[in-house]
Every structure is written in C-alpha cells, then in structure tokens.
Structure 1
Amino acid sequence: MSFDARLQRWVRETPDAPAIVGDDETVNWCELDVRVDAVELPPPGQAIGWLGHNSIAMLAAFLACARRGVVFVPLNVRLAEAELQTIVEHAGVAHVTGGLAPARELQRFADGDLLLAYTSGTTGVPKGALHTQAAMLANIDAAIATQGFDRGTRALAVLPLFHVGGLCIQTLPVLAAGGTVRLHTRFDAGAWLHDVAQWRPSTSLVVPAVMRALTEHVDWPRTDLSSLRFVGAGSSIIPRALIEAFHARGVPVAQIYGATETGPVSVVLRPEEA
C-alpha cells in the first residue's frame, strides 16, 4: 500500500479527525489531502529541495512527492548557504524552497525513488542516501509494529524533519497508522513539557540533548507525564542517568538504533521491554 493509499484511507474513514496539529493551526485528514494536492512540484522523476523548520507545509510537500513521483530532498537549516548549495548541486535538484538556486544540472531519478536524505557530515562531507517508497513503507511498518502505533496514537514531534530520525521514526509512521502528530516548529523544553501536560501525547521522540534539557528544566518535577506510554530515544549513546530520570517519572525509554542510510529504523527496544 503506497503512502497515498494510506493517506486516502484516513481521508475516507476519518476525514474530520485531526491529522497534524501545528503551532498555529490544525489540519484534519480531508484538509491535509487538499493541501497535498495544492503543492507545486517539478515533473515526476525530478527532485525538490525543502529548506525550512518543521511545518505542516513540509509534511504536505513530502506527501505530494510520494503521490506524484517526485524525490524529496530535506535540507538542514543549520548548514551554511555554500554547504546547502553544494548538496543542491550534488542532488541535481530542480526546485528549492528558501531562496536557494536550483542545480545547474538536473538529476533524473528512477520510478519509485522518494527520499534523498543527506548525512550530517560528522566524519566528512555529507553523503546522500536515496530511499525508495517501498523501502520507506517497510521502515514505517517496522516502526508501527515495534512501537505499537495505531489510530489512537498522539505523537509530540519536536526533532527536525530534515533528519530521517525526526521524519521517519515516529512522524510518518504515526500518520500512516491514522494517529495524530503535534508538530513543533523547533524544540523548546518548556513548550514540550507544556504540551505533554495539556495536549497529552502518548509518545514523543527525543535525543540525549533534548532529554537533558527536559530533566534540567524547572518544570520537570511538577509536569504531569502520565499520558506518555513511552518516549523513543536515539541518535547517540544515552547516558544511564537520563534514562533513570525518565524511569523515575514512570516513562519508559524505548531506544532506537538506525542511520540515515537505513531509513532509519534498524534495531528497536520495544516500549514493554524498556
């Protein structure tokens, strides 16, 4: 079942249910479908580069690429303009948001290609990892099965969508399962704690730096975390003290290992095992 088929299922079955809750607006499944149709894209087989912080528009653009056979290239807003332009040229991007120029030589991608994600460049020049729609759907099915997502899942998404972790470990799988994503433009510890207490998500994906910021926040001891069935965590070694801090508040930490090249879900500690 394609991305679009999964989206259409929820458009049919729960058209008025909230799909994505942004900082300033909420869109239901029917409205999301309309926004996906309205996205302007290059022809099938070409690529669009997306430069920007987390937004409903960014997710709509990705879903539009899946619908129309265009490759989505998320760009890291933390990179310098010269670094971004190098990636655009390497990827052969036909259209770029955020004011960057398209590539001088366009790339022609194969049918089924969907996501071209670049590594962080920690050990060298960022490298592009090309994912097909079929591979991403397999990754999503694994994420749903190991994390127990369903139509009732409410995920608080704060990690950047320009990384495969923020995009593919919880955000896309929860949407595919018919759940609801509360999308923050960027991470803020106070905003995360506020939304856990008020919006009451059942899960959220975090990294060690986020965990540390949360546990050191003045509101950590008094925030109601009881809605969280678990948090997913990964990206690097997680200090035992941070895991214990979440466990002390009754929140299991389900560790997830993967890489940009793997989609990224590879090894998952299930919530009931955490």
Structure 2
Amino acid sequence: MSEVGDWVGDWSARRATLSPEEPALTDATTGETWTYAELDARANRTARLLGEYGVADGERVAVVSRNRPELVDLVFACGKTGGVFAPLSHRLAPPELAELLGTVAPGLVVVEEPFADDVAAALDGIDVEVLVLPTAGDHEQPAFGDELPDDDSPVETHARSPDDPFMFLHTGGSTGTPKETILTHGSVVWNATNTVTAWGLRPEDSTPMVFPMFHTGGWNVLTMPLFHVGGHVVTARDFDPGQVLDLIGEYDANVLVAVPAVLRMMTEHADWPDADLSSLRFAKSGGGPCRQAVMEAWWDRGVDLSQGYGLTECGPNNFSMPDNWSHEKADSVGVPAMHVDARIVDDRGERVDRGEVGELELRGPHAAAGYWRAPSESAETFDTEPVEDPTVDGVSPGWVSTGDLARTDADGYYYIEGRKKNMFVSGGENVYPPEVEDAVADHPKVDEVVVIGVSDDTWGTVGKAVVEGDESLTLDELDSFLEDRLAGFKHPRALAFVDEMPTSGPSKIDRDAVRDAFGGAAN
C-alpha cells in the first residue's frame, strides 16, 4: 500500500488555499455561484454531518439525485472523512435500486425528494439511515435541512492512501445488475492529471456539465479535473440543449464534453445559428462514434470538436488529439495521454500488427481497482499481475480489458471499431457495425442508425439497419447509396425503423435494447 496522507482526500481545502476567491461551482437552476473557499466551508459542514452518521474509513454514502451542489459537498466531505461516495442512477426502478443498494451496503442513503418513494421501496426491510434533499427552496441554506451543523471551520481529516476507495460508480449495463466499479483516490487524481496535461485544462476554464453525476462522465471527464486545476463547473438539474447553448455564452465556457446525441441535439436546436460559441477552445465527443455531419456542424462554427474514448473502469480520459491534428483523423480518438499505456491484442492476448483489429487494452495509475464484491468479473477485466516495467513498489497496474475492438494507423492514432460482442461474421468476413453506421448515417433520410447482426440462411449472419429517420427509405435505395461506399458484404440486408432510439445512461444509445427488439432473422 502507498503512503497515507490527507492530501489525497482533502481536495477542497487544498484548492481553497490556492485559489479561495475563484468561482468553483455554479448551480444554473438557482443561479448561485460558490467560490473555492465557500465550497470548502460547505464541505466542512457536510463532513461534520457525515460524522454524526458514522460515515468514515470506507463507509459508503449512496446518493440518488439529479445534479445538485449537495453532490459536490458529499464528494469532498467523503474525502475528508474517509467515506466512499456511491451515486446511483435516479432513473432506475425500485427493484434495480434495491439490487445496487444491496451491493453497495451503504451506511447512509441521501436521496432527492422526487425519488424518495422509489428509494423507500428499494430499502424495504433494510435498516439504514436516509437523508432527504428537499426540492423546494433549493437555494436556501442549509441544503441538508436543520441537521447540517453550523460549524464550517476545518475538520480533522482522515488519512487516506491513494489505494483507498474514493468512489463507487456503477457501469452502464442494460441487462442484469450493473457492477460497482471501485475508483481509488489515486485513480481519480491520476485521471485528473492525465486530463489536465493531455487536454491542456487551465485555471480560467469553465464548462457546463451535461453528464449526470451518477455517471463517470459527470465526475471524471471534467468536474474533478477542473476542480484539480482550479476551474469552474456549471451544473443544472436536467439537461436542455438550448440551455446549454445559453450557458456557454453566459459563462464564457472554454471546454465542452458530451455524448454524440447531445452534440447533435444542440446543432438541431433553433438557437444554434445564433448561439455564441466564441469562448469554446475545444469540444469533445465521447460514449460512442460521432457522425461526420455532426462534427462538421461544430467545425463550421469554429469549434475544435474531436472524439474521445473512455470507460468507468479506466479513466475515463485515455486519449487526446495532438496539436494541429488533421480533420482527416476525425474518426480517430487520438493518441494515448501522458500516463496511459495502450495496446491492441488478439484472442490469445498477443499484440496485433498495426492496422489490424483486436481488443483494446489500457494500463496506468488512473485505472480502477476492480469491481466491488465481484471477484470473478474483476478477474475477467482487470489484470493485476506484475509486468516487465515495475513501478517503485515493484508491481505495476495491470492491463484493463475494455471489450472494445480497435486498430492503429501508421501515425499511431487509435480507431475504435465497436464492441467486441457487436462484431459479426457474414459469409466469412468480419463486419464492424460502426463502419457501416457511419456510411448509412450519411444518407439524407437517416438521422440515427444502429446496425446489428441477424441470422441469415445464406450468409450465416447479415446486417440489419435500425434507423431513426424518414421511413420512406427502402432497402434498395440504401443499397444503391452504399454501392461506392462499402464492400457488398457490409451492406445491411434488412431494414427497420424506430421513432426514437432507446438510450441508457447519459443519452447514450442502448444497443442491447435495439438488439433485443430487432434481433433474430433477417426476414
């Protein structure tokens, strides 16, 4: 175990010492802004509240809420007390919440008032303290009710090691119970370091946070990295594309990260043509492939939009685009960040040649420690065996198996070819759905598309295109359109339509739901 020290947990106090008067957090729903000194004072009060509930030294705090300032209070308070912050999706049904709460086994549950009944149903028969966040009068203090101590002076912090758990974040699985990923103090610090150094974050940077704070995107894409460097995070209860466009101009936002669907919704909003985007230094897309048309719409507005790649189990920020990158590399996620190792391997775990497709594996001090109370699943994803280049402790973090297929080009750029389980073989040829989807999405009648493999008597498996768009599109019309774009074996041989793509997590397309609804035979 690494040496202990309170520096790991007490981020808010360190930043309050360095830049006390700088804006740290804004609640766009109420219009309030807190400096780093004020944010640390809030964290001290919240830490005392957690102490009254016995939250310390690894005790979990489960939270079910939309994006609110109290979640930031709880994160920093957990750091001070040695507690573990475990946000759960407020979109889950009571039985799903019950399974996750059973896994987390929290010492305290904090729930926003609209979700209190669901949490009560999920906790039926479980004896645990529950603290409700009111929705009325959000701007009034104390936010946690009359129980919150008045004393906001510095608290005695609990010494933490970089190896100690800091956050439990559940994966976005759409079937079965999501796994709780253990993010340590060290992994959160190193992901922030990677982000600051690879993306060039600055103390004067600000961002509107469009990811939900039960997701790694809500914390580790920009929130914790910006708190690390002294930047400004703007949150709101719910996402609205027009509001985000307004927030960019109102707060001179410099950076923006969102999933492709959100970036597309912003370009389709009525306010898009007149929105002031001049302050944006760059934007990044993550959570799936971003269509060329969406990227071009942002480029046309002078915004440097590129694609990123990450996962709850590692990072999530792993790659970056080099300075002055060419738009010819737009399909790439860039090159590994400063403290990230990446490799592509075959089914035997051997590296593949450049240009060949294999599974992407990642390694670095930003990787998670495993899954909570899931040893077999942890063993499948996390390899913690010593490697040839040991750290000073004699053991280096092992490789994390991402489950994603990737390749590199001659310049060392990485390209994601989709989930390993989504690839299918048609007539002996490998078909990678993202490549087909990019080509189909160029058709003017297609707004969004997911390609899945379905059974076929002749070829074994063929592609089926599930389209959100103009339902007058025919399979023959699509086949003609793709003639000069894709090899014939990659052309979809079946077509289906949806009014709206199902989503999971932060507006991320739920491929499993699409497969469940439209899989089977081609005809």
The alignment's TM-score, normalised by the length of structure 2, stands at 0.49
Match of 2:57 among 44, 48, 51: 44
Counterpart-to-counterpart distance in 2, 1:226 and 1:57:
31
Match of 2:316 among 264, 269, 273: 264
Q: Tell me the amino acid that sits aligned with residue 243 of structure 1.
A: M
Q: Tell me the amino acid that sits aligned with residue 197 of structure 2.
A: A
Contact 2:100 2:177 in 1 (8 A): no
Match of 1:115 among 167, 171, 182: 167
Match of 1:29 among 11, 20, 36: 36
- 1:183-194, aligned counterparts within 5 Å? 183-194=235-246
Deviation at 1:124, TM superposition (A): 3.8
Comparing 24-33 with 35-44, greater Cα deviation is found at: 35-44
Counterpart-to-counterpart distance in 2, 1:10 and 1:33:
8
Counterpart-to-counterpart distance in 1, 2:169 and 2:323:
27
Contact 1:3 1:176 in 2 (8 A): no
Deviation at 1:122, TM superposition (A): 2.7
Contact 1:212 1:242 in 2 (8 A): yes
Contact 1:156 1:204 in 2 (8 A): yes
Contact 1:89 1:105 in 2 (8 A): no
Larger RCO of the pair (alpha carbons < 8 Å, separation 6+): 1
Counterpart-to-counterpart distance in 2, 1:175 and 1:272:
27
Counterpart-to-counterpart distance in 2, 1:255 and 1:194:
23
Comparing 256-265 with 167-176, greater Cα deviation is found at: 256-265
Q: Which residue in 2 is equivalent to 1:7?
A: 12
Counterpart-to-counterpart distance in 1, 2:284 and 2:45:
33
Contact 2:11 2:76 in 1 (8 A): no
Q: Which residue in 2 is equivalent to 1:207?
A: 259
Match of 1:16 among 21, 38, 58: 21
Deviation at 1:205, TM superposition (A): 1.3
> How many pairs were matched up?
271
Q: Which residue in 2 is equivalent to 1:218?
A: 270
Contact 2:66 2:213 in 1 (8 A): yes
Q: Which residue in 2 is equivalent to 1:54?
A: 67
Q: Which residue in 2 is equivalent to 1:89?
A: 102
For the structure 1 residues 269 and 47, does the alpha-carbon distance in structure 2 shift closer, same or farther, using more than 3 Å as the test?
same
For the structure 1 residues 4 and 246, does the alpha-carbon distance in structure 2 shift closer, same or farther, using more than 3 Å as the test?
same
Counterpart-to-counterpart distance in 2, 1:113 and 1:253:
33
Deviation at 1:6, TM superposition (A): 4.1
Task: Note if 1:253 corresponds to 2:305.
Answer: yes
- Match of 2:222, SS? helix
Deviation at 1:213, TM superposition (A): 1.0
Q: Tell me the amino acid that sits aligned with residue 99 of structure 2.
A: T
Q: 4+ residue runs of structure 1 moved beyond 6 angstroms?
A: none
Q: Tell me the amino acid that sits aligned with residue 45 of structure 2.
A: A
Contact 1:92 1:105 in 2 (8 A): no
Comparing 220-229 with 263-272, greater Cα deviation is found at: 263-272
Q: Which residue in 1 is equivalent to 2:213?
A: 161
Contact 1:147 1:270 in 2 (8 A): no
Deviation at 1:270, TM superposition (A): 5.1
The Cα RMSD (Å) is 2.1
Contact 1:19 1:27 in 2 (8 A): yes
Counterpart-to-counterpart distance in 1, 2:108 and 2:322:
39
Deviation at 1:81, TM superposition (A): 1.7
Match of 1:145 among 183, 193, 197: 197
- Match of 1:261, SS? coil
- Match of 1:258, SS? coil
Counterpart-to-counterpart distance in 2, 1:234 and 1:266:
11
Contact 2:8 2:186 in 1 (8 A): no
Contact 1:254 1:271 in 2 (8 A): no
Counterpart-to-counterpart distance in 1, 2:222 and 2:238:
16
Counterpart-to-counterpart distance in 1, 2:106 and 2:18:
36
Deviation at 1:271, TM superposition (A): 6.9
Deviation at 1:260, TM superposition (A): 1.1
Deviation at 1:79, TM superposition (A): 0.8
Q: String of CA shifts for 1:197-225, please: whole Å, max 9, x gaps.
A: 22210011111111111011011011111
Q: String of CA shifts for 1:37-58, please: whole Å, max 9, x gaps.
A: 1113223221000110111110
- Match of 1:260, SS? coil
Larger Rg: 2
Q: String of CA shifts for 1:210-257, please: whole Å, max 9, x gaps.
A: 111101101101111110001121011111111111111111113221
Q: Which residue in 2 is equivalent to 1:135?
A: 187
Q: String of CA shifts for 1:15-60, please: whole Å, max 9, x gaps.
A: 1221101122111111100111111322322100011011111011
Q: Tell me the amino acid that sits aligned with residue 247 of structure 1.
A: W
Specify every segment of 5 or more residues in structure 1 that has no aligned partner in the other structure, as ranges: none
Counterpart-to-counterpart distance in 1, 2:294 and 2:322:
18
Deviation at 1:173, TM superposition (A): 0.4
